Amino acid sequence: MKLITAFAFCLVTVQAFAPKQHQSRHVGSAVRVTSEEIVANTLTDQQPRWLIEDFESGNRDMIKKMEVMLRQAQLDITKAIAEIDGGATFQEDAWERETGGGGKSMVLKDGKVWEKAGVNLSVVHGTMPQVALHAATERGNLAGKDDKVPFAACGLSCVMHPRNPHCPTMHFNYRIFQTSDNWWFGGGTDITPSYIDVDDMKHFHGTLKEVCDRHDPEYYPKFKKWADEYFLIPHRGERRGLGGIFFDDLNDRDPEEIFEFCKDAVNNVVAAYGPIIEKHKNDKFTNEQKRWQLLRRGRYAEFNLVYDRGTIFGLKTGGRTESILMSLPETARWEYDHHPRPGSREADFLDACKTPRNWV
């Protein structure tokens, strides 16, 4: 059984389940941490212990390994983003889940470049109720005799919404999920601009393709197609952006191989996205271009609220609202029956959202 579909997009929302909040603090720069520091048997506001110590599984060590890697990635990515922004720091929220695990949310607000950016880490374990499964999948009764599914999960999720309409929004998520009997990896990185810059898209997709090709030449075309299919807004007949890579239920080879792919992908998020932001963060823009960006953000919100399985899962299971809705932009716009002018850059972008293009 592939239970990952039920949990695949909820690692930012598993903060759900009534976590206990620690005091927030602001982080301006990251410090390298060691595996020993991460797995230390201590609990502090700054470094809570979240490891999957009570979950009985042959792959428990892989979740621990994934946690160490993703904790460092969270520090490295937030440090790089704060440096590119140059005007804001990330607020850090560490939390515990009483029935097992916890997480750390890092959110930047009101920056020079980003209106809002969040990078959330979750490392949790316990049992998943049947209602949670039905919130995220149409598959049959997957629960055990007691109507609960034992699970453990670890993942890092991120959404970044820039101010400038020439700077694209970016999202990524990399995770591992397991039950007592099986395990799966999932994730991906995708981009949502408001305008098409072909060189930007060649760089973004080209970086992702290079990562994929290092591990399997079939990954990029397969995962690019998967992203184009997943991020479709059916009631609009368009995608929320210009795609990237996306994969789920991945357990077709040695877990070490998939782990190394996830590690390579998450550690190249900044390489794929950062140069595009640096290139455009000081671009001049008009009120009309800002209006178009807000309209596209409306599409982003529609997808996340109506179709994203992680959002649905979190809201239907009483999740931590602030973490679930962190992915939404602070400002967006909806206009009745809006259509871009034929032949305009806006119309070209909309066409690319309706008919996915090959950028590399």
Read off the pLDDT of residues 79-127 as tens digits, 9 standing for 90 and up. 999 999 998 999 998 888 777 788 899 999 999 999 999 999 988 887 7
pLDDT at res. 343: 97
Looking at the domain assignment, is residue 22 inside a domain? no
Mean pLDDT of 199-204: 98
- The answer on pLDDT for 11 being more than 50 is no
Rounded to whole angstroms, the Cα distance separating 13 from 6 reads: 12
Interatomic CA distance for residues 119 and 171, integer angstroms: 10
Q: What was the pLDDT predicted at 178?
A: 82
**Residue 136 structural domain:** 58-354
pLDDT of the residue at 1: 38
- Please say if the pLDDT value at position 31 is more than 70: no
- What CA–CA distance (Å, rounded) separates 358 from 360? 6
d(CA 166, CA 149): 45
Q: Are 125 and 54 in contact (CB under 8 A)?
A: yes
Between residues 320 and 28, the one the model is more confident about: 320
339 found inside a domain: yes
Residue 48 is assigned to a structural domain of this protein: no
How many domains are there within the chain?
A: 1
CATH code of the domain containing 252 = 3.40.1500.10
Q: pLDDT tier at 302 (50, 70, 90 boundaries)?
A: very high
263 domain-assigned: yes
Specify which residues 25 forms β-bridges with.
92
Residue 30 has pLDDT above 50, yes or no: no
Give domain status of residue 148, yes or no.
yes
Residues serving a catalytic function are 171
Task: State how far the Cα of 99 lies from the Cα of 233, in Å rounded to an integer.
Answer: 35
Backbone angles phi, psi at 317, to 5 degrees: -115, 20
Query: How many residues comprise the chain?
Result: 360
Res 36: pLDDT? 46
Per the CB < 8 A criterion, the answer to whether 105 and 118 are in contact is yes
Round the average pLDDT of the chain to a whole number and report it. 82
Joined tokens for residue 7:
């949990």
* Secondary structure string (H, E, C) spanning 15-59: CCCCCEECCCEEECCCCCCCHHHHCCCCCCCCCCCCCCCCCCCCC
pLDDT single digits (tens) 278-297: 999 999 999 999 999 999 99
45 part of a folded domain = no
Listed residue (198, 233, 246) closest to 349, CA to CA:
198
CA angle 77, 83, 89 (to 5 degrees): 80
Does 171 map to a domain?
yes
pLDDT digits (tens, 9 = 90+) for 181-198: 778 899 999 999 999 999
CA 77 centroid distance within chain: 13
Comparing 313 with 276, which gets the higher pLDDT?
276
Q: Could you give the CA distance from residue 73 to residue 264 in angstroms, rounded to a whole number?
A: 10
Residue 238 lies in a domain: yes
Report which of 87, 93, 84, 91 is spatially closest to residue 23, judged by C-alpha positions: 93
Does an H or E element contain 71, and which? helix 60-85
Whether the CA torsion 199, 203, 205, 210 is positive or negative: it is positive
